């Protein structure tokens, strides 16, 4: 047993140049007030080495001139600029949350963004008055990261100023994440307008500010404003099989709540609400976690890990990390299930599996169930056709009732469900066409089955059973 990792609200990614996984997060040793941004590295995602504080917080203003770590880093900053570094990074009232780092291939710089908050002159007692996104850069993934500034970001376009729109909190940026798309364009994703909307904004080529200034930014080209009134936080974005997925939490502070995810074909386009991805989450609290990031273990093969924080509000530094495999069903729908003590091999068969063979809506007897099926599997960035045997798990079937039967596609170890109505072979129907009351069908093998009165109702009842 080692030392507890302090990297909350974090992000894990593979850094090619280092040949290692890097985990950035909030050090909460001192509780709510930031003890800086920490980094850990790993070769295998299991064993982690502390790389140090990549960005330290500051205890007093003098430190910026007297402590060599800071005086060297900010040697070209004037007094006013250093005052701003202190305001945004002092350990007595600055709030530094959800740090995320992206490497810029063009500039060779490591760029760290975070939720930069704390009091302002107008609201000296508020922890969340600044509502800004902070940015810092470094030549090394281990820092030291140099603080460039904290900014309010994009605002609601004039045409959308109706319904859920919040003038007083325009440009707010709180819970956030970053995304680099396949073409190298980077985006910041953040809760805005007092957490009532989510924005995705394009970053400039250096990844250090918006691509287009706020007053010139165009919706759909430079940014998109999403989910007005939905109150979503903690965005975690990833891309699989040409679709963007965004997992979010609701806004209930340190208390867990129900996750929801959205899907889009275009990152700055329409996002579709797909609901809660969790399966078997009885209390509807995302297995008592809040999303922070999705790890791309092998995105081409559909291997992703959901990273959640299990906050302990009365002892934040003792909060835990819950990682779960992401799984995709045959329609690309996302599923998160409550695995315990799972190994990375568990990710092997979570990719999207599609059926090439057609399944019937209803099978009228288990002997009809197919023994093999042809499937399409998204592996290593392409679709591959495969045959698979199906192992059906057949429960006891009630005659004439619709039952869901589960099968396992053995080649990929994935489950499918079909509907079976057990219609006994020697079933014969006798219908009293003139009956005013209920008629009866007689199943010679299993006894009688009661149906509603008259032939019309028998047709309806059978139609209902057969799902027509
Ligand atoms: C959560 C947010 C955390 C932190 C917390 C403070 O909603 O996701 O990052 O800001 O509120 O209460």
In tens, the pLDDT along 92-107 reads: 999 999 999 999 999 9
Band (pLDDT 50/70/90 cuts) for residue 178 is very high
User: What is the C-alpha to C-alpha distance for residues 100 and 424, in angstroms, rounded to an integer?
Assistant: 61
Residue 368 has pLDDT above 50, yes or no: yes
Q: Which residue has the higher pLDDT, 170 or 461?
A: 170
Question: Would strands 414-421 and 362-363 be described as parallel, antiparallel, or unpaired?
Answer: parallel
Residues 6+ apart with CB under 8 A from 32: 95, 316
User: What is the C-alpha to C-alpha distance for residues 455 and 438, in angstroms, rounded to an integer?
Assistant: 10
CB of 235 closer than 6 A to ligand 1? no
Cα(27) to centroid(ligand 1), Å? 15
Ligand 1 atom closest to residue 32's alpha carbon, by position in its atom list: 6
**In the structure, how many helices (H) and strands (E) does the chain have?**
4, 29
CB of 117 closer than 6 A to ligand 1? no
The pLDDT of residue 450 is 47
Cα(256) to centroid(ligand 1), Å? 10
Q: Whose Cα sits closest to atom 2 in ligand 1?
A: 253
Dihedral angle of Cα 321, 327, 331, 332, to the nearest 10 degrees: 50
CB of 251 closer than 6 A to ligand 1? yes
In tens, the pLDDT along 304-333 reads: 999 999 999 999 999 999 999 999 986 778
Q: Whose Cα sits closest to atom 6 in ligand 1?
A: 253
The pLDDT of residue 110 is 98
Domain residue extents for the chain:
8-274, 354-421, 429-465
Cα(253) to centroid(ligand 1), Å? 5
Task: Answer whether CATH 3.30.1490.190 is correct for domain 8-274.
Answer: no
Band (pLDDT 50/70/90 cuts) for residue 277 is very high
CB of 74 closer than 6 A to ligand 1? no
Residue 468 has pLDDT above 50, yes or no: no
Residue 295: phi, psi to the nearest 5?
-90, 125
Residue 459 has pLDDT above 90, yes or no: no
Which stretch of 68-77, 120-129, 301-310 has the lowest confidence by average pLDDT? 120-129
Band (pLDDT 50/70/90 cuts) for residue 377 is confident
Cα(438) to centroid(ligand 1), Å? 61
- Give the residues across from 110 on adjacent strands: 103, 138
The dihedral built from the CA positions of residue 360, 363, 367 and 368, taken in this order, carries a sign that is negative
Ligand 1 atom closest to residue 233's alpha carbon, by position in its atom list: 8
Residue 447 has pLDDT above 60, yes or no: no
* Mean pLDDT, range 263-275, rounded to an integer: 98
CB of 9 closer than 6 A to ligand 1? yes
* Mean pLDDT, range 159-171, rounded to an integer: 86
Residue 296: phi, psi to the nearest 5?
-85, 95
Decide: 412 and 377 in contact? Cβ < 8 Å.
yes
Cα(121) to centroid(ligand 1), Å? 22
Query: Which of 8, 117, 132, 253 for a ligand 1 pocket mutation test, highest count of atoms within 8 Å of Cβ?
Result: 253
**One-character DSSP codes across 70-82:** HHHHTTT--HHHH
CB of 98 closer than 6 A to ligand 1? yes
Ligand 1 atom closest to residue 234's alpha carbon, by position in its atom list: 8
Band (pLDDT 50/70/90 cuts) for residue 423 is confident
CB of 281 closer than 6 A to ligand 1? no
Residue 442 has pLDDT above 50, yes or no: no
Residue 276 has pLDDT above 80, yes or no: yes
Cα(172) to centroid(ligand 1), Å? 15
- Percent of residues, the chain, with pLDDT higher than 70: 90
The pLDDT of residue 436 is 54
HSE at residue 307, side-chain half, CA atoms within 13 A, is 24
In tens, the pLDDT along 76-93 reads: 999 999 999 999 999 999
- Percent of residues, the chain, with pLDDT higher than 90: 75
Residue 394 has pLDDT above 70, yes or no: yes
Query: Which of 94, 97, 129, 321 for a ligand 1 pocket mutation test, highest count of atoms within 8 Å of Cβ?
Result: 97
Ligand 1 atom closest to residue 290's alpha carbon, by position in its atom list: 8
Cα(114) to centroid(ligand 1), Å? 13
Cα(188) to centroid(ligand 1), Å? 18
Q: Whose Cα sits closest to atom 1 in ligand 1?
A: 253
CB of 233 closer than 6 A to ligand 1? yes
CB of 253 closer than 6 A to ligand 1? yes
In tens, the pLDDT along 131-159 reads: 999 999 999 999 999 999 999 999 999 98
User: What order do you get walking across the sheet with 49-55 strand by strand?
Assistant: 8-15, 20-26, 37-42, 49-55
Mean residue pLDDT of the chain comes to 90
The pLDDT of residue 300 is 82
CB of 225 closer than 6 A to ligand 1? no
The pLDDT of residue 400 is 82
The pLDDT of residue 100 is 98
Cα(227) to centroid(ligand 1), Å? 19
Q: Whose Cα sits closest to atom 11 in ligand 1?
A: 253
Q: Whose Cα sits closest to atom 7 in ligand 1?
A: 253
Band (pLDDT 50/70/90 cuts) for residue 451 is very low
Residues 6+ apart with CB under 8 A from 173: 115, 131, 132, 133, 151, 152, 153, 188, 190, 191, 192, 199
């Amino acid at each position: 047993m080692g030392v507890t990792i302090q990297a909350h609200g974090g992000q894990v990614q593979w850094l090619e140049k280092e040949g290692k996984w890097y985990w950035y997060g909030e050090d909460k040793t001192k509780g709510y007030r930031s003890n800086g941004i920490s980094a850990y590295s790993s070769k295998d995602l299991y064993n982690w080495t502390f790389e140090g504080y990549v960005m330290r917080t500051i205890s007093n203003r003098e430190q910026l001139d007297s402590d060599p770590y800071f005086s060297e880093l900010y040697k070209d900053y004037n007094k006013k600029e250093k005052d701003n570094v202190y305001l945004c990074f002092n350990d007595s009232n600055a709030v530094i949350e959800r740090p995320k780092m992206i490497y810029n291939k063009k500039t060779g710089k490591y760029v760290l963004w975070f939720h930069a908050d704390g009091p302002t002159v107008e609201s000296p007692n508020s922890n969340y008055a600044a509502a800004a996104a902070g940015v810092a850069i470094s030549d090394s993934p281990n820092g030291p990261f140099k603080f460039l500034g904290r900014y309010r970001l994009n605002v609601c376009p004039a045409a959308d100023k109706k319904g859920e729109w919040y003038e007083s909190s325009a440009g707010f940026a709180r819970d956030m994440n970053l995304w680099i798309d396949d073409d190298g364009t980077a985006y910041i994703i953040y809760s805005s307008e007092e957490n009532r909307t989510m924005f995705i904004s394009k970053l400039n080529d250096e990844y250090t500010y918006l691509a287009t200034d706020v007053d010139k930014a165009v919706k759909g080209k430079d940014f998109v404003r999403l989910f007005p009134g939905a109150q979503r936080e903690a965005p975690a974005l990833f891309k699989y099989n040409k679709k963007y997925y965004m997992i979010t939490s609701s806004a209930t502070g340190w208390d867990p709540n129900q996750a929801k995810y959205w899907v889009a074909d275009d990152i700055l386009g329409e996002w579709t609400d797909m609901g809660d991805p969790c399966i078997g989450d009885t209390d509807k609290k995302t297995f008592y976690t809040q999303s922070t990031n999705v790890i791309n273990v092998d995105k081409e093969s559909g291997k992703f890990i959901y990273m959640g924080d299990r906050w302990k509000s009365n002892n934040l530094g003792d909060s835990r990390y819950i990682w779960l495999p992401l799984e995709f069903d045959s329609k690309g729908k996302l599923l998160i299930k409550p695995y315990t003590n799972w190994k990375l091999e568990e990710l092997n068969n979570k990719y999207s599996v599609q059926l090439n063979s057609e399944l019937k809506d209803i099978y009228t007897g288990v002997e009809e169930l197919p023994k093999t099926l042809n499937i399409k599997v998204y592996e290593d960035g392409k679709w591959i056709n495969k045959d698979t045997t199906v192992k059906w798990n057949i429960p006891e079937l009630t005659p004439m009732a619709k039952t869901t039967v589960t099968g396992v596609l053995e080649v990929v170890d994935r489950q499918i469900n079909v509907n079976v109505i057990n219609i006994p072979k020697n079933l014969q129907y006798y219908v009293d066409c003139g009956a005013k009351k209920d008629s009866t069908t007689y199943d010679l093998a299993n006894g009688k089955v009661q149906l509603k009165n008259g032939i019309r109702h028998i047709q309806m009842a059978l139609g209902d059973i057969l799902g027509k």
